[in-house]
Amino acid sequence: MRLELLLSFEKPFTVPYNYPRPLYSFLLSAIELGDEEIAKRIHNNKKDIKFVASLLRPLGKVRKTEKGLEVKSGRVRLFVGSSA
């Protein structure tokens, strides 16, 4: 299964260069809202449930800053997939 997520933030939004770990935490929290048991199984690294996330894809113009990429539109696209 593959999901496309369109995320909107306050304009402009800065995507930090080291965002993968906070993104994983965000996704795990979102999964926990829907199913706590699955979130626990993913967090505990059970081999039966895995998911992957793409890089964040800014929509619109982007500017490099010291802290990360400033997304003028405040919108990003993300794909999340799982074989489960």
**pLDDT digit string (tens) for 10-68?**
888 899 999 888 888 888 898 899 999 888 888 887 666 677 889 889 999 999 999 99
pLDDT at 67: 93
What pLDDT shows up at residue 17?
92
- 46 Cβ neighbours under 8 A, 6+ residues apart: none
Residue 48, pLDDT score: 66
Domains and CATH numbers, the chain: 2-81 (3.30.70.1890)
Q: Does 70 score more than 90 pLDDT? A: yes
What pLDDT is stored for residue 84 in this prediction?
A: 62
d(C-alpha 60, C-alpha 53), whole Å: 20
Taking CA atoms, 52 is separated from 13, 35, 70, 80, in Å, by: 23, 18, 24, 6
